[in-house]
Chains A and B, each alone.
Chain A
Amino acid sequence: MKAGWIKWALLGLGIGLAVWGWLGGEAGVMMRKAIYICLECMGLGA
Protein backbone atom coordinates (compact mmCIF):
# COMPACT_ATOMS: atom_id res chain seq x y z
CA MET A 1 0.00 0.00 0.00
CA LYS A 2 2.91 2.29 0.87
CA ALA A 3 4.10 2.29 -2.74
CA GLY A 4 0.64 3.25 -3.98
CA TRP A 5 1.02 7.03 -3.82
CA ILE A 6 4.80 7.03 -4.30
CA LYS A 7 4.57 5.60 -7.82
CA TRP A 8 2.02 8.22 -8.85
CA ALA A 9 4.17 10.97 -7.33
CA LEU A 10 7.21 9.66 -9.21
CA LEU A 11 5.20 9.42 -12.42
CA GLY A 12 4.17 13.06 -12.00
CA LEU A 13 7.75 14.07 -11.20
CA GLY A 14 9.07 12.24 -14.25
CA ILE A 15 6.52 13.78 -16.60
CA GLY A 16 7.03 17.23 -15.06
CA LEU A 17 10.81 17.14 -15.36
CA ALA A 18 10.74 15.72 -18.89
CA VAL A 19 8.27 18.34 -20.12
CA TRP A 20 10.10 21.20 -18.34
CA GLY A 21 13.42 20.11 -19.85
CA TRP A 22 11.89 19.60 -23.29
CA LEU A 23 10.22 23.04 -23.30
CA GLY A 24 13.42 24.59 -21.96
CA GLY A 25 15.25 23.35 -25.02
CA GLU A 26 17.36 20.71 -23.30
CA ALA A 27 16.36 18.03 -25.81
CA GLY A 28 17.65 20.26 -28.60
CA VAL A 29 20.97 20.80 -26.81
CA MET A 30 21.17 17.09 -26.14
CA MET A 31 20.50 16.34 -29.77
CA ARG A 32 23.27 18.66 -30.90
CA LYS A 33 25.61 16.60 -28.69
CA ALA A 34 24.21 13.29 -29.87
CA ILE A 35 24.43 14.04 -33.59
CA TYR A 36 28.20 14.43 -33.49
CA ILE A 37 30.22 11.27 -33.32
CA CYS A 38 31.14 10.90 -29.65
CA LEU A 39 34.88 10.30 -29.68
CA GLU A 40 34.90 9.71 -25.93
CA CYS A 41 32.35 6.88 -26.29
CA MET A 42 34.67 5.14 -28.73
CA GLY A 43 37.81 5.69 -26.69
CA LEU A 44 39.34 7.82 -29.44
CA GLY A 45 41.49 10.92 -29.27
CA ALA A 46 43.38 9.95 -26.12
Chain B
Amino acid sequence: MKRQSRRTFIQIVAAVTQNAYIPGFLNGVIYQGKIKRLCVPGLNCYSCPGALGACPVGSLQNALGRHSTGPAYVLGTLILFGVLLGRLVCGFLCPFGLLQDLLAKVPLPKLKLPRWLDRPLRYLKYVVLILLVVLAVLMEEPTFCKYLCPAGLLEAGLPLTSLNPQLAGMRGPLFYVKLGILILIVLLSLSIFRPFCKYLCPLGAFYGLFNGVGFYRLQVEETKCVRCGRCAAACPMDVDVTKHPNSPECIRCGKCRDACPHDAISGGFRCR
Protein backbone atom coordinates (compact mmCIF):
# COMPACT_ATOMS: atom_id res chain seq x y z
CA MET B 1 0.00 0.00 0.00
CA LYS B 2 1.35 3.44 -0.88
CA ARG B 3 2.27 5.78 1.96
CA GLN B 4 -0.64 8.22 1.49
CA SER B 5 -3.20 5.42 1.10
CA ARG B 6 -1.78 3.81 4.25
CA ARG B 7 -2.06 7.12 6.08
CA THR B 8 -5.69 7.58 5.01
CA PHE B 9 -6.43 4.02 6.13
CA ILE B 10 -4.86 4.66 9.56
CA GLN B 11 -6.77 7.95 9.86
CA ILE B 12 -10.08 6.21 9.13
CA VAL B 13 -9.34 3.37 11.55
CA ALA B 14 -8.38 5.90 14.25
CA ALA B 15 -11.53 8.00 13.70
CA VAL B 16 -13.80 4.93 13.74
CA THR B 17 -12.08 3.41 16.79
CA GLN B 18 -12.42 6.63 18.77
CA ASN B 19 -16.12 6.84 17.87
CA ALA B 20 -17.15 3.20 17.97
CA TYR B 21 -20.13 3.45 20.36
CA ILE B 22 -22.83 2.56 17.83
CA PRO B 23 -25.85 2.72 20.24
CA GLY B 24 -25.07 6.41 20.74
CA PHE B 25 -25.73 7.13 17.07
CA LEU B 26 -28.87 5.00 17.06
CA ASN B 27 -30.45 6.41 20.23
CA GLY B 28 -29.10 9.97 20.46
CA VAL B 29 -27.21 9.33 23.71
CA ILE B 30 -23.51 9.33 24.64
CA TYR B 31 -21.22 6.63 26.00
CA GLN B 32 -20.90 6.82 29.79
CA GLY B 33 -18.55 3.93 30.58
CA LYS B 34 -15.13 3.84 32.19
CA ILE B 35 -13.10 4.21 28.99
CA LYS B 36 -14.14 7.89 29.10
CA ARG B 37 -11.41 8.30 31.73
CA LEU B 38 -8.86 8.02 28.94
CA CYS B 39 -7.92 11.01 26.82
CA VAL B 40 -7.78 10.45 23.09
CA PRO B 41 -4.84 12.07 21.26
CA GLY B 42 -6.74 14.19 18.72
CA LEU B 43 -9.60 16.68 18.62
CA ASN B 44 -12.59 14.40 19.16
CA CYS B 45 -15.54 15.78 21.13
CA TYR B 46 -16.48 13.66 24.16
CA SER B 47 -20.11 14.47 23.53
CA CYS B 48 -20.03 12.81 20.13
CA PRO B 49 -22.61 9.98 20.40
CA GLY B 50 -19.92 7.49 19.41
CA ALA B 51 -17.01 8.86 21.47
CA LEU B 52 -15.39 6.27 23.72
CA GLY B 53 -12.69 8.54 25.16
CA ALA B 54 -12.37 12.13 26.31
CA CYS B 55 -11.22 15.07 24.20
CA PRO B 56 -7.95 16.37 25.70
CA VAL B 57 -8.82 20.01 25.00
CA GLY B 58 -12.22 19.82 26.69
CA SER B 59 -10.76 17.79 29.56
CA LEU B 60 -7.91 20.26 30.07
CA GLN B 61 -10.34 23.15 30.35
CA ASN B 62 -12.59 21.28 32.74
CA ALA B 63 -9.68 20.15 34.92
CA LEU B 64 -8.02 23.56 35.17
CA GLY B 65 -8.44 24.93 38.66
CA ARG B 66 -11.07 22.41 39.65
CA HIS B 67 -9.08 19.59 41.24
CA SER B 68 -6.42 19.20 43.94
CA THR B 69 -3.88 17.92 41.42
CA GLY B 70 -4.86 20.59 38.86
CA PRO B 71 -4.92 19.31 35.29
CA ALA B 72 -1.99 16.93 36.01
CA TYR B 73 -3.52 13.86 34.41
CA VAL B 74 -4.64 15.60 31.21
CA LEU B 75 -1.44 17.65 30.94
CA GLY B 76 0.68 14.54 31.57
CA THR B 77 -1.20 12.63 28.89
CA LEU B 78 -0.79 15.52 26.44
CA ILE B 79 2.96 15.69 27.16
CA LEU B 80 3.20 11.92 26.60
CA PHE B 81 1.43 12.12 23.25
CA GLY B 82 3.53 15.17 22.40
CA VAL B 83 6.94 13.71 23.20
CA LEU B 84 6.17 10.29 21.70
CA LEU B 85 4.37 11.39 18.54
CA GLY B 86 4.37 15.20 18.22
CA ARG B 87 2.23 16.31 15.29
CA LEU B 88 2.15 12.78 13.95
CA VAL B 89 -1.12 12.84 15.91
CA CYS B 90 -2.42 15.56 13.55
CA GLY B 91 -1.37 13.68 10.44
CA PHE B 92 -2.57 10.22 11.45
CA LEU B 93 -4.89 10.16 14.46
CA CYS B 94 -7.06 13.30 14.53
CA PRO B 95 -10.59 12.82 13.13
CA PHE B 96 -10.97 16.54 12.39
CA GLY B 97 -7.69 16.41 10.47
CA LEU B 98 -9.08 13.51 8.44
CA LEU B 99 -12.18 15.55 7.57
CA GLN B 100 -10.03 18.42 6.29
CA ASP B 101 -7.81 16.00 4.33
CA LEU B 102 -10.88 14.53 2.63
CA LEU B 103 -12.20 18.01 1.80
CA ALA B 104 -8.81 18.90 0.32
CA LYS B 105 -9.22 16.00 -2.14
CA VAL B 106 -12.21 17.76 -3.78
CA PRO B 107 -10.89 18.90 -7.18
CA LEU B 108 -11.12 22.65 -6.78
CA PRO B 109 -8.41 25.28 -7.32
CA LYS B 110 -6.08 25.35 -4.31
CA LEU B 111 -4.98 28.59 -2.68
CA LYS B 112 -1.78 29.41 -0.89
CA LEU B 113 -2.04 32.48 1.27
CA PRO B 114 0.68 35.07 0.63
CA ARG B 115 3.56 34.81 3.09
CA TRP B 116 2.82 38.19 4.70
CA LEU B 117 -0.61 36.89 5.70
CA ASP B 118 0.21 33.22 6.27
CA ARG B 119 3.10 33.72 8.71
CA PRO B 120 1.28 35.91 11.27
CA LEU B 121 -1.83 33.73 11.04
CA ARG B 122 0.24 30.66 11.97
CA TYR B 123 0.80 32.24 15.40
CA LEU B 124 -2.94 32.55 15.95
CA LYS B 125 -3.14 28.96 17.18
CA TYR B 126 -0.68 29.77 19.97
CA VAL B 127 -2.85 32.72 20.96
CA VAL B 128 -5.86 30.35 21.01
CA LEU B 129 -3.86 27.90 23.17
CA ILE B 130 -2.93 30.59 25.70
CA LEU B 131 -6.43 32.09 25.73
CA LEU B 132 -7.92 28.61 26.19
CA VAL B 133 -5.93 28.13 29.40
CA VAL B 134 -6.40 31.67 30.74
CA LEU B 135 -10.12 31.87 30.01
CA ALA B 136 -10.80 28.37 31.32
CA VAL B 137 -9.31 29.42 34.67
CA LEU B 138 -10.94 32.86 34.77
CA MET B 139 -14.39 31.92 33.48
CA GLU B 140 -14.51 28.35 34.84
CA GLU B 141 -16.04 27.03 31.65
CA PRO B 142 -14.70 25.40 28.49
CA THR B 143 -14.55 28.60 26.44
CA PHE B 144 -12.80 27.01 23.43
CA CYS B 145 -15.47 24.30 23.20
CA LYS B 146 -18.25 26.81 23.72
CA TYR B 147 -17.26 29.56 21.28
CA LEU B 148 -14.87 28.11 18.70
CA CYS B 149 -14.50 24.35 18.45
CA PRO B 150 -15.99 23.20 15.12
CA ALA B 151 -15.47 19.52 16.02
CA GLY B 152 -17.90 19.85 18.94
CA LEU B 153 -20.67 21.07 16.69
CA LEU B 154 -19.94 18.59 13.91
CA GLU B 155 -19.49 15.50 16.07
CA ALA B 156 -21.87 16.31 18.94
CA GLY B 157 -24.15 19.27 18.21
CA LEU B 158 -25.42 18.24 14.80
CA PRO B 159 -25.97 14.50 15.44
CA LEU B 160 -27.41 14.89 18.94
CA THR B 161 -29.81 17.71 18.11
CA SER B 162 -30.96 15.72 15.09
CA LEU B 163 -31.53 12.55 17.12
CA ASN B 164 -32.73 14.04 20.40
CA PRO B 165 -35.78 16.38 20.23
CA GLN B 166 -35.18 17.65 23.78
CA LEU B 167 -31.74 18.90 22.78
CA ALA B 168 -33.03 20.24 19.46
CA GLY B 169 -35.25 22.62 21.43
CA MET B 170 -32.18 24.15 23.06
CA ARG B 171 -30.71 25.51 19.83
CA GLY B 172 -30.02 29.21 20.30
CA PRO B 173 -27.98 31.98 18.64
CA LEU B 174 -24.66 30.44 19.76
CA PHE B 175 -25.51 27.20 17.96
CA TYR B 176 -25.90 29.09 14.70
CA VAL B 177 -22.74 31.14 15.28
CA LYS B 178 -20.81 27.87 15.72
CA LEU B 179 -22.54 26.45 12.68
CA GLY B 180 -21.28 29.47 10.73
CA ILE B 181 -17.73 28.81 11.97
CA LEU B 182 -17.98 25.16 10.96
CA ILE B 183 -19.33 26.00 7.49
CA LEU B 184 -16.55 28.58 7.03
CA ILE B 185 -13.87 26.05 7.96
CA VAL B 186 -15.40 23.42 5.67
CA LEU B 187 -15.50 25.87 2.76
CA LEU B 188 -11.95 27.05 3.41
CA SER B 189 -10.76 23.43 3.60
CA LEU B 190 -11.85 22.96 -0.02
CA SER B 191 -9.25 25.48 -1.19
CA ILE B 192 -6.71 25.78 1.63
CA PHE B 193 -5.04 22.67 3.07
CA ARG B 194 -6.10 22.13 6.71
CA PRO B 195 -6.90 25.76 7.60
CA PHE B 196 -8.05 24.85 11.10
CA CYS B 197 -4.82 22.92 11.84
CA LYS B 198 -2.64 25.66 10.36
CA TYR B 199 -4.20 28.65 12.03
CA LEU B 200 -6.52 27.80 14.91
CA CYS B 201 -6.02 24.40 16.53
CA PRO B 202 -4.61 24.70 20.09
CA LEU B 203 -3.86 20.98 20.15
CA GLY B 204 -1.73 21.26 17.01
CA ALA B 205 0.03 24.25 18.57
CA PHE B 206 0.81 22.21 21.69
CA TYR B 207 2.01 19.11 19.84
CA GLY B 208 4.06 21.28 17.47
CA LEU B 209 6.18 22.38 20.42
CA PHE B 210 7.38 18.77 20.72
CA ASN B 211 8.28 18.20 17.04
CA GLY B 212 11.80 19.46 17.62
CA VAL B 213 12.51 17.46 20.78
CA GLY B 214 10.30 14.35 20.60
CA PHE B 215 11.04 10.74 19.75
CA TYR B 216 9.62 10.85 16.21
CA ARG B 217 11.97 12.74 13.92
CA LEU B 218 12.43 13.47 10.24
CA GLN B 219 15.99 13.49 8.96
CA VAL B 220 17.45 14.75 5.69
CA GLU B 221 20.60 13.02 4.52
CA GLU B 222 22.85 15.78 3.24
CA THR B 223 24.85 13.38 1.06
CA LYS B 224 21.73 12.32 -0.88
CA CYS B 225 19.92 15.69 -1.05
CA VAL B 226 20.47 17.59 -4.29
CA ARG B 227 18.42 20.65 -3.20
CA CYS B 228 15.89 20.17 -6.01
CA GLY B 229 13.14 21.69 -3.85
CA ARG B 230 10.53 19.04 -4.68
CA CYS B 231 9.94 18.25 -1.01
CA ALA B 232 9.17 21.87 -0.14
CA ALA B 233 6.89 22.17 -3.16
CA ALA B 234 5.01 19.00 -2.17
CA CYS B 235 4.53 19.98 1.48
CA PRO B 236 0.88 20.92 2.08
CA MET B 237 1.84 22.66 5.33
CA ASP B 238 4.42 24.80 3.45
CA VAL B 239 7.45 23.56 5.37
CA ASP B 240 10.90 23.63 3.76
CA VAL B 241 11.91 20.18 4.95
CA THR B 242 15.59 20.51 4.04
CA LYS B 243 15.90 23.55 6.32
CA HIS B 244 13.44 22.60 9.07
CA PRO B 245 12.74 18.85 9.06
CA ASN B 246 11.20 19.05 12.53
CA SER B 247 9.30 22.30 12.15
CA PRO B 248 6.34 22.78 14.54
CA GLU B 249 4.15 23.05 11.42
CA CYS B 250 5.03 19.57 10.08
CA ILE B 251 2.17 17.09 10.53
CA ARG B 252 4.37 14.14 9.42
CA CYS B 253 2.14 13.33 6.43
CA GLY B 254 5.15 12.03 4.47
CA LYS B 255 4.38 13.82 1.20
CA CYS B 256 7.93 15.21 1.20
CA ARG B 257 9.28 11.66 1.39
CA ASP B 258 7.07 10.62 -1.54
CA ALA B 259 8.28 13.59 -3.58
CA CYS B 260 12.00 13.09 -2.96
CA PRO B 261 13.60 11.38 -6.00
CA HIS B 262 16.69 10.36 -3.99
CA ASP B 263 15.15 8.97 -0.79
CA ALA B 264 17.02 11.61 1.15
CA ILE B 265 14.28 12.07 3.76
CA SER B 266 13.67 9.46 6.41
CA GLY B 267 11.38 9.42 9.40
CA GLY B 268 11.15 7.29 12.49
CA PHE B 269 11.42 6.96 16.23
CA ARG B 270 14.85 7.74 17.58
CA CYS B 271 15.88 7.17 21.17
CA ARG B 272 19.04 9.28 21.02
Contacts and interface: CB of A to CB of B under 8 A. Distances in A.
Contact of B54 (A11, A31, A46): A31
B68 A24 contact: yes
B272 A34 contact: no
B25 interface: no
Interface string B94-110: 00000000000000000
B256 interface: no
B114 interface: no
Q: Is the interface of A mostly helix, strand, loop or mixed?
A: helix
A35 B66 CA distance: 17
B146 A40 contact: yes
A42 B47 contact: yes
Nearest to A19: B76
B145 interface: yes
A11 B83 CA distance: 6
Q: Is the interface of B mostly helix, strand, loop or mixed?
A: helix
Interface residues of A, number: 38
Interface string A8-27: 00110111111111101111
Nearest to B49: A37
A45 B160 CA distance: 14
A7 B161 contact: no
Interface in B154-183: 156-157, 160-161, 167, 170-179
A20 B47 CA distance: 26
Contacts of A25: 67, 69
A29 B62 CA distance: 9
B37 A37 contact: no
B258 interface: no
Interface in B37-96: 37-38, 45-47, 54-55, 58-59, 62-63, 66-80, 82-84
Closest 6 CB pairs of A and B: A21-B73, A17-B76, A18-B76, A42-B157, A21-B72, A41-B152
Interface of A: 1, 3-4, 6-7, 10-11, 13-22, 24-31, 33-35, 37-46
